[in-house]
Amino acid sequence: MTRVAIVDDHGLFRAGVRAELEGHVDLVGEAASVDEAVALVAAQRPDVVLLDVHMPDGGGVAVIQRAAGAAPETLFLALSASDAAEDVIATIRAGARGYVTKNIATDELLEAIDRVRGGDAVFSPRLAGFVLDAFAGPAPASGGAADTDLDQLTAREREVLRHIARGYLYKEIALRLGISAKTVEAHVSAVLRKLQLSNRHELSRWAAERRLD
Amino acid sequence: MIGADMAATGTASPPREPLRRDREHKYIAGVCSGLGRHLGVDPLVVRIAFVAAAAAGGIGLLLYAAVWVLIPADDAGAAPAPEQRTRRGRAAIEVALGVGLLTLSVLLTMRALGLWFSDAIVWTVALLAAGGGLLWRQSLRPTPAEVSPPAPTVGLPEPPPAPEELRRERNRVLSRNGIGIALVIGAGVFFLYATGSLSAARDAVLAALVVAVVLGIIFAPWVVRLMRSRDAEREERIRSQARAEMGAHLHDSVLQTLALVQKRADDPRAVAALARTQERELRAWLAGREGGHDRLAAALESLAGEIERAHGVPVEVVVVGDRELDSRSEALVAAAREAMVNAAKFGGGSTVDVYAEAGDGELQVFVRDRGPGFDPAAVPGDRRGVRESIVGRMSRHGGRATIHSAPGAGTEVELTLPQTP
C-alpha cells in the first residue's frame, strides 16, 4: 500500500481526509505545521505527502523546499482550498507533482495519489486551464533552443491539456486521441516539467505574486 | 498633460505654436525655449542671443524679465505629473535665484547708467526679490491636495499619489518656504546692518526670540503629539473601513449561509448545494471578479452558480483567455446556458464540466456531463427542442454546435464561434 502523510494546519480537515483514506492507503503520520511536516517527512519517508498550501511559516512551498533534501524519493501532492493561479503555480514550481482542491471526491483523490505514486503528474481541470493560459502567447525570445522548447507546449500537449480542462479522464483522452494512456501520461509529465522549469514571465509572475502566509 | 506637451514640442511643428513659455525644457523660466518653439528655431540660438544682449549693456536681461512677466506659461493651471513635481521643486529654487540675479542686474545696470542707490538698498532689494519670488511662487501654486485630477477625457483618473510621495512633497514645500523666509530675513538683517540700526533691532529680536523659544519648548511636545495622533487616527480609520467592508460582505454571504446550513442540517443535498454556492461566491469575491457579467469568464461562472442552485448539480468552469462579450458571444453564452441546463437535467447528477477558450480566431465552449448519454441519431422527442435552441442559435450567429454523445459515455456539446461571421 502507498505510504501517505497528511500535512494540514486544520485538525478537522486532517481528520476528514484520514477518514476518507483509511483502509485504502497506509497512513504514516500527520503534521500540523511546516516544522512538524519537515521532521515527519525526514523520519517516515512517505511515498506521497498530501500537502496544504496555506500554512503559517511559508506553507506548502516551504515544506517541499526544506524536506526534499532529506527524502528525495518522497512525492508531494498539493491538496488545497485555494485554486488561485499564484498558489497553484508556486506550489508546482516548488516541486509538487500535482495539485487538487480540497473539494475533490474520495475516489478521485485516491486515483490522484496512485498516479503521483506511479511517477505521473496530476492536473485538475483548473490547473490545466492555468497552464494553457500561461503558455498561450508566443514563446519569449530567448538564447538557446533548449529554452524555447521549455517555453512552449507542443500541439499534442496542448490538445491533452484541453481535454483535461474539459473534464476528460486520462483513459478517455487516450481513446479520443487514439494514443495509449501511457502516452497521455508522458505528455502530462512533460508539461509538468515545462511548468516547473520554464522562464515564461506569466509563470514567474504568478509565482512571485504569491504571498507566503 | 505630458502627452500634449510632448506632441507640442515635437521636432517639426508646421503650424506656428502660440507664444508660451516652455516649462518642459526650461533653464530659468522657459522664455528662451518658448520663444524658440514659437519662432521655430533652436532654443540654444535664442539663449545665445539673450546672453549676448545681456552682456551688451543688460538689455537682454530686461527683455528676459519682460517676456517672463508678460508671457504665460504653457501649462498654467494643469496638474503636474508625479515625476514633474521633483523638477518643479528644484525649479522653484532656480526661479528664486533667477529673480534675485535679475533684480541685481537691473540695479547694477542702472548704476552703470549713472543711477546709483546705496549698497544697503541694492543688496536688500536683490535678496528680497529672491526670497519673495520663492515664497510667492510657492503660495500661488496649488498644493498637492488641491491639484485636481486631469480632465475625464484622459480616461481613468490619476491614482492618488502614495502617502510616501505626499510626505516628500510636503517636505519639499517646507524646505522651499524655509529658504524663502531665510532670504527675506537676510534682506532685513542686511538692511538694518547697513543702516547701522542693527544693534537696536537685535535687542528687540533677542527678546522676541527668547519668548519664542520658551513657548516652543513648552508647546512642542504637545504639538508633536497632536500631529502624531492625527496620523494614527487616519490610519486606524482606513483600517477599520476595510474591516467594516469585509465584515459586511461576510455577514451578507458566509454567515448567512452558515445559518442556513444549520437550519437544514437534516438535508445533506441542500447543505452541499448551499456550501458549493457559497464557495463559488467567496472565490469570485477573493479573485476580485465579482459582479459585472460583461466578460466571458464572469458570465459563465454566474450561469454555473445559477444552474447549481436550480438543479443541485455541481458545475465546474474553466476559462482560458477571458474576453469582453459582444452581441455574438452573448448568443454563444446563451447557447452554453441551454447546454448546461441540459447537462444538469439529463446528466444523471454527475458534475458538469464547462470549458471555454478564447483563442486567436475563435471562441469555443465545451459543456460535458457524465450522464447516461444518448444516440444522437435517435434524439428523444423531449430533447429536440432544446437541441434546436442550441444548434439553431449558434448557426444564426455564424457559429456551429456539435453534440458528441453515445449511450453510456456521457454527452459533450461543443460550441464554436469564429471571430468574424
From residue B275, alpha-carbon distances to B92, B332, B412 in Å are 62, 29, 27
**Region of B315 on the Ramachandran plot (φ > 0 left; ψ -120 to 50 alpha; else beta):** beta
Spatial separation of the C-alpha atoms in residues B367 and B307, rounded to whole Å? 13
Total domain count, chain A: 2
Q: Across-strand partners of A5? A: A29, A49
Same-domain check for residues A7 and A68: yes
Name the residue with cell 524655509.
B178
Cβ of A129 within 8 Å of Cβ of B279? The answer is no
B-chain CB neighbours of A167 within 8 Å are 316, 351, 353, 355, 368, 370
Spatial separation of the C-alpha atoms in residues A30 and A37, rounded to whole Å? 8
Same-domain check for residues A130 and A53: yes
Contacts of residue B342, Cβ cutoff 8 Å, sequence gap at least 6: B367, B383, B386, B390, B411, B413
| Nearest residue of B to residue A162, measured between CA atoms | B355
Same-domain check for residues A90 and A146: no
Low-confidence ranges of chain A (pLDDT < 50): 143-145, 211-213
Same-domain check for residues A27 and A130: yes
- The pTM of the full predicted model, rounded to 2 decimals, is 0.57
B366 close contact with A: CB closer than 8 A? yes
Nearest CB among A83, A84, A129 relative to B319 is that of A129
| Nearest residue of A to residue B356, measured between CA atoms | A166
CATH number of A45's domain: 3.40.50.2300
Same-domain check for residues A202 and A98: no
State the DSSP code for B225: H
End residue of a domain, out of A134, A156, A174:
A134
Nearest CB among A84, A136, A166 relative to B366 is that of A166
Grid cell of B186 as nine digits: 537676510
Amino acid, single-letter form, for residue A56: P
Cβ of A129 within 8 Å of Cβ of B287? The answer is no
Spatial separation of the C-alpha atoms in residues B258 and B253, rounded to whole Å? 9
Cβ of B355 within 8 Å of Cβ of A167? The answer is yes
CATH number of A149's domain: 1.10.10.10
Same-domain check for residues A125 and A191: no
Residue B381, pLDDT score:
57
Spatial separation of the C-alpha atoms in residues B355 and B75, rounded to whole Å? 52
| Contact present, A180 and A174 (Cβ < 8 Å) | yes
Q: What is the pLDDT along chain B (421 residues), one digit of tens a residue?
A: 344 444 444 444 445 556 777 766 777 777 777 777 777 777 777 777 777 777 666 667 777 777 776 676 765 444 444 444 445 555 666 777 777 788 888 877 777 777 666 767 777 787 888 888 777 766 655 544 444 444 333 334 444 455 666 677 677 777 777 888 888 888 888 887 777 777 777 788 888 999 999 998 888 888 899 999 999 999 999 998 888 888 877 877 888 888 888 888 888 878 887 888 888 888 878 777 655 567 888 888 888 888 888 888 888 889 888 888 888 888 888 889 888 988 888 888 788 999 999 877 889 999 998 888 877 666 665 566 666 778 888 888 888 888 888 887 788 899 999 987 6
Contacts of residue A139, Cβ cutoff 8 Å, sequence gap at least 6: A148, A151, A152, A200
Best residue in A166, A169, A172, A177 to probe B by mutation, most B CBs within 10 Å? A166
Buried b (16+ CB within 10 A) or exposed e, B227-252: eeeeeeeeeeeeeeeeeeeeeeeeee
Same-domain check for residues A59 and A121: yes
Contacts of residue B138, Cβ cutoff 8 Å, sequence gap at least 6: B92, B173, B176, B177, B180
Same-domain check for residues A24 and A129: yes
B272 close contact with A: CB closer than 8 A? no
| Contact present, A102 and A13 (Cβ < 8 Å) | yes
- A53: nearest Cα among A19, A71, A76, A23: A76
End residue of a domain, out of A117, A134, A151:
A134
Same-domain check for residues A122 and A152: no
B20 close contact with A: CB closer than 8 A? no
Domain that holds residue A32: 3-134
End residue of a domain, out of A83, A110, A134:
A134
Spatial separation of the C-alpha atoms in residues A80 and A61, rounded to whole Å? 12
What is the sign, positive or negative, of the torsion defined by CA atoms of A49, A55, A60, A62? Answer: negative
Spatial separation of the C-alpha atoms in residues A168 and A56, rounded to whole Å? 35
| Contact present, B27 and B93 (Cβ < 8 Å) | no
Q: Are strands B362-369 and B352-358 parallel, antiparallel or unpaired?
A: antiparallel
Same-domain check for residues A120 and A160: no
A128 close contact with B: CB closer than 8 A? yes
| Contact present, B412 and A176 (Cβ < 8 Å) | no
Residue B17, pLDDT score:
59
Residue B18, pLDDT score:
64
B321 close contact with A: CB closer than 8 A? yes
Nearest CB among A103, A125, A168 relative to B318 is that of A125
User: In this prediction, does ipTM exceed 0.90?
Assistant: no
DSSP B309-320: HHH---EEEEEE
Cβ of A128 within 8 Å of Cβ of B351? The answer is no
Residue A209, pLDDT score:
61
Nearest CB among A125, A133, A136 relative to B353 is that of A125
Same-domain check for residues A129 and A148: no
Q: Across-strand partners of B352? A: B315
Spatial separation of the C-alpha atoms in residues A133 and A147, rounded to whole Å? 19
| Contact present, A187 and A156 (Cβ < 8 Å) | yes
A84 close contact with B: CB closer than 8 A? yes
Same-domain check for residues A10 and A103: yes
